[in-house]
Amino acid sequence: MNISPDSPLTPDKDWWRGAVIYQIYPRSFQDSNGDGVGDLKGITARLGHVASLGADAIWISPFFTSPMKDYGYDVANYEDIDPIFGTLADFDALIAEAHRLGIRVMIDLVISHTSDQHPWFVESRSSRFNPKADWYVWADAKPDGSPPNNWLSIFGGSAWQWHSTRMQYYMHNFLTSQPDLNLHNPQVQDALLAIARFWLQRGVDGFRLDTINFYFHDLELRDNPALAPEARNANTAPAVNPYNFQEHLYDKNRPENLAFLKRFRAVMEEFPAIAAVGEVGDSQRGLEIVGEYTSDNDKMHMCYAFEFLAPDPLIPRRVAEVQRAFEAAAPQGWACWAFSNHDVVRHVSRWGGQVEDKDGFAKMLAGLLLSLRGSVCLYEGEELGLTEADLSYEDLRDPYGIEFWPEFKGRDGCRTPMVWEADATHGGFTVAGRSWLPTPVEHLPKAVDRQAGNPRSVLELYRRFLAFRKRHAAFAKGTIAFFEPENSILAFTRHYEGETLLCLFNMSGEPGAIALPAGNWQALADHGFESRQSVEAIELPAWGAFFARLAG
C-alpha cells in the first residue's frame, strides 16, 4: 500500500471490519471538465466531503476502458482508465489525496465477464483454435440449432448468443455484449490475478468484486430446474424478468469458485492491509453463499447479499431475521450491509413511498444501518436523503430499464448526478449544458450546501452519527443480540470488550414507547436523535432512536 509519510493511515490488516465505505458512481459524482460526465479529477476534488462524513474508505464503481454499453461494467481494458474518466495519472493523484485525508480506496473489479470489445474476446471469437479460444464460455448448438441449454440472462432472454464465425454460442449472464469468461481455464485465472496485482501495486486498498458468485458455470451445461411460483422472488432481478422462474444451480454458484477465491485472497495477502467485499447475487441461497465465501479467513473478507437491497418492507422483525439468518449461515463470516447502491431503487423511496416525513425516515434508517453488526456501504446521495428520480423514457440510459420499460424503469433513477449547490447549474455537478442524466428538480433543495451546518438536516445527522459510532468500538466490532420486537420498535444490544450498548429504533411515523430492559442504563448523547427517558421506559418520537450504555 503506497501510503505517504504524512498520511494518517496505518497498515491495519483489520481496518475493514466495521468500516464505513462510501460508494461513488463516477459518472454522477462530479464533472471536472464540463462534458456532462463525472470523472476522476471530480472525485478527487470532492474527497473533502467524504472525509467530512467520517467514512473510512471509498468504493469507486468501474472507470476502466469500456464501450459503456453497461456504463463501465463491460470492461475492454482492465489496466487503463477510460478517457471519459481521465488517466492513470489522475487515478494516482486520487489515491494520494484520499490517503492524505485518511481514506482508503477500493475499486470495483468486474471479472465474471468482459466487453465483447476486449482484445481477449476479439481473439477468442476469431476461430476455434486460437490461443484464447477457450478463454470464454463457448458451446455448440443443439441439433436443432437452439441454444445449448435453458440458462437465462439477467438482462432478459437466453444467456446464449450465436456467433457466426465460430458457429457456436457464447454465454452471457448479462448483455450480449458482455461475454462470460471461462474461469475453468487456469490461464484466465492467472490473467485476472495479474490484474488484481496491477492495481494493488498502484496503491489501492481493496476491491469490491462484482457478481462474485457468477464466476464459474457447470461444465456439463445442465439445464436449471424450474422454480415453483411461490418460491420466486425479485431480489436479484425485477419481478417482470423470467430469470426469477429458475433455480440457478448450474449457471452460477458453482463449488469450483471456492478454490479461485482462495487464490485471489493469497494475492491480496502479498500486500499489507488489503480487503475485499463480494457481491452475491442470488435470491434463494444468498446468505448461504456469503457464509461459504467468507469462511475460514482464506477467501473474501466480507460479502453482501440482497436482503436489505430488496423491496420487501423494512420492519423490526425483518431486520432481526436477516441479521440472525446471516449469523446462522456465516458464523465465521462478516457482512457488509447496504440499504442502497447503483443497482436498486434508493431506499428512502423503496421503503418510504407513503412516508410524509422522508427526512426523519432517512435519519432513522441511517442510525439503524450504522448500528448493525457488520461493515457498511453508503451510496452517494444517501447522506442527503435523496429519493429515486422519476425519469422519462427519453432520458433513460440503462439498457436494463430500456428492455423492461415501463414495468421496470431500470437503474437510472438512482444514478442521477450528485447535488452539491442548490442554485448552481445541474446542482453544481457540471457546468455543461446537459449532463449524462438529468438532475431532478426535487433534489436541488437537498444539495450539500443547503444541508451543511443545519443541525436538523439529514447530512448533519450522518456526520454526527458517524462520529458517535467511532467513539464506541462496539458498533464496529461488537456482537449483536436482539430483543423480541415490540410493535414498531426494534431493540438490540451491541457488546465489545466490556462495553454494552442499547440501541432502540422507532420504525414508525407515530410516537412509541418501550420499557427499559433490566440494568443500569445510562443514556448516550451527541448522536443526533431525540428521545425522553423515564425511570422505566423510553419514549421515542416518530422515526426516533435512543442509545445507552450499561453502567457498572
* 138 DSSP β-pair partners: 170
Question: CA 219 to CA 171: how far, in whole Å?
Answer: 12
Give the pairing type, strands 160-163 and 302-304: unpaired
Peptide bond into 511 cis (omega under 30): no
**Among the listed residues 19, 34, 38, 15, the one whose alpha carbon sits nearest the alpha carbon of residue 342:** 38
**Among the listed residues 31, 2, 198, the one whose alpha carbon sits nearest the alpha carbon of residue 104:** 2
Residue 81 sits at the vertex; the CA angle it makes with 202 and 78, to the nearest 5 degrees, is: 75
Active-site choice (210, 251, 279, 412): 210
Q: How many CA atoms lie within 13 A of 104 on its CB side?
A: 26
Question: CA 358 to CA 426: how far, in whole Å?
Answer: 23
Active-site choice (270, 423, 510, 530): 270
CA distances from 317 to 314, 358, 486, 491, 550 (A): 8, 21, 9, 10, 24
Is position 210 annotated as part of the catalytic site? yes
**What DSSP letter does each residue of 147-198 carry, written as one string?**
-SS--B-TTSSBSEEEETTTTEEEE-SS-TTSPBB-TTSHHHHHHHHHHHHH
Is position 270 annotated as part of the catalytic site? yes
Give the pairing type, strands 160-163 and 64-65: unpaired
Looking up cell 437503474, which residue turns up? 411
Q: Which residues participate in catalysis according to the annotation?
A: 210, 270
